[in-house]
Structures are given as C-alpha cells and as structure tokens.
Amino acid sequence: MARTCLTCAHPSRAAIDLALLQGKTASSVAREYELNIDGLLRHKAHHLSKSDETSTTLAMLKQVILELDQAALEALSKGDHRAAIDARKRKADTLQSLLQVETQETQAQQKINPSKIPYQVLDEIVAKVQASHERCPFCGGFTPKKAAGQLSGSPIN
C-alpha cells in the first residue's frame, strides 16, 4: 500500500506550497513546518503542478499592482510627481506581465476540451500515460518512469 505524502496531509499544506512557490528554500520551509527535508523535496517534485505556480504568480503580480497603486498615491500626496510617475510606469509593466501570464494560462486551458474527445481516444491516452508512468510509492499518484540507471532521488524505490 502506498504511503501518504506527509506534506499533502499537513494541516498547513497551502502555506507550505505557497512558501515553496514563492522561492523559499526547502530547508527553511522544512524547519518552519517541522517536516523532513527529503519528503518535502519529493512533494515539491511530484505534487506541485504548473497551475499552482501560475496561480501563485498571478496572485503575486496582483499584489505588486496594489502596492504600486498605493506607492503612487502616497507619492502624489507628498507632491513627489516623479515617484508617482515611476510607480505608474512600473504598474504598467506589471500589468503587461499579468496579462501575459493570464493569456498563457487561458491558452493552456483551451488546448484540450475533454468533453469533445471521444471515449476511445481518452482510453488510448490513459493507456499511454499508464505505460509511461508508474505509481508514486508515497501517494499512489502517477509519476514519470525513470530511465534505466537514473537515480530516483528517493531512498525507497
């Protein structure tokens, strides 16, 4: 029977994932949440998805936009028009980045519409994934098979 990923089961999983996605080191996150570093690294490698990263990036960009708005308002209230203009320019650049990330996410979501794929094709896709992947011994999910001679990074194979 597969072992449960302790990080996935942790009551602070959302905060742990956010910390990892924001670039905090695995060792500092492991210390803060009293987790085993190896288990946390396996979690990061196998259970954090691209959509998690995109969601975090979007949230961070939106937060930067709010902070730049606040900075511009404070600069205007102090009569510092150069700082206000600089904050507005940085906001425009950040909005451009936000638009690019959102556009990429929308395009990724629109590539495949599972409701329009015939069941036979879905069965073939599932069979190919199962053939090229193996069950994760920690959570029971699928992970890519390792090439012959490739180290798994895990003490349990």
Tokens of residue 48, six digits: 């954090």
How far, in Å, CA of 49 to CA of 57, rounded? Answer: 13
Decide: helix, strand or coil at residue 144: strand
Query: Tens digits of per-residue pLDDT, 102-116?
Result: 777 666 666 666 666
Out of 13-22, 28-37, 42-51, 119-128, pick the least confident: 119-128
Query: What is the arithmetic mean of pLDDT over 135-155?
Result: 60
| Chain centre to alpha carbon of residue 137 | 22
Q: Quick one: pLDDT band at residue 9, thresholds 50, 70, 90?
A: confident
How far, in Å, CA of 40 to CA of 47, rounded? Answer: 10
The better pLDDT of the pair 81, 96 is held by 81
- What radius of gyration, in Å, describes the C-alpha atoms of the chain? 21
Query: Tens digits of per-residue pLDDT, 12-38?
Result: 887 788 788 777 899 999 999 999 999
